[in-house]
């Protein structure tokens, strides 16, 4: 069963045709890779698929329950979050709690009872949200991409 179907889509910017009667369909559990030179329409196709840009002609259908996440190609220059915070931020409330826990666990000083209580409260919130599996997913993403978790994104 299809997740997305793009039918006979055209899209041009000025005189440059980026989608010329394009057809695209994505099925459940299917993986795709877009390969091509710069300026050939890869990002434009993804923008149409996610609904950020409408085609000039043709149609796009998305399954009602489909959620599409998007990561910008360029890192905002003013992003002052760590790599861990940024990756965890993809998980709305839970991501913030996981990032806070990560930061708090790295700033514990012996004898700092307030810091230990804060860490315990964060741990309880993660338990309540069922977040330890997500924490492992964040760590896995960082590991697979060899990303340094505590580096500020804008410094990468």
What is the CB neighbour count within 10 angstroms for residue 89?
A: 14
Instruction: Determine the average pLDDT of the residues in 119-132.
Output: 88
Neighbouring residues of 107: CB distance < 8 A, sequence distance ≥ 6: 115
User: Higher model confidence: residue 137 or residue 5?
Assistant: 5
3-state secondary structure of 82: strand
Instruction: Encode pLDDT of 28-87 as tens digits.
Output: 999 888 899 988 888 889 999 999 999 999 999 999 999 888 777 776 677 788 888 888
- Cβ(75)–Cβ(154) below 8 Å: yes
**Would you say 91 and 134 are in contact if contact means Cβ atoms under 8 Å apart?**
yes
| Cα separation, 16 vs 5, whole angstroms | 23
Helix (H) or strand (E) holding 31: none
Angle between helical axes of 113-129 and 132-144 (0-180°, round to 10): 100
CA 118 – CA 115 distance, rounded (Å): 5
Instruction: Give the pLDDT of residue 7.
Output: 96
In eight-state DSSP terms, residue 152 is B
């Amino acid at each position: 069963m299809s997740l997305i179907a793009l039918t006979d889509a055209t899209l041009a910017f000025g005189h440059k045709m980026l989608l010329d009667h394009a057809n695209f369909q994505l099925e459940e559990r299917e993986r795709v890779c877009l390969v091509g030179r710069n300026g050939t329409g890869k990002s434009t196709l993804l923008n149409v698929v996610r609904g950020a840009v409408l085609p000039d002609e043709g149609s796009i259908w998305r399954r009602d329950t489909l959620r599409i996440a998007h990561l910008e190609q360029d890192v905002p220059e003013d992003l002052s979050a760590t790599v861990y915070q940024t990756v965890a931020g993809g998980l709305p409330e839970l991501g913030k709690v996981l990032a806070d826990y990560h930061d708090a666990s790295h700033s514990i000083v012996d004898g700092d009872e307030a810091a230990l209580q804060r860490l315990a409260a964060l741990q309880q919130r993660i338990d309540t949200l069922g977040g330890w599996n997500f924490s492992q997913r964040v760590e896995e993403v960082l590991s697979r991409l060899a990303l340094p978790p505590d580096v500020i994104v804008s410094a990468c």
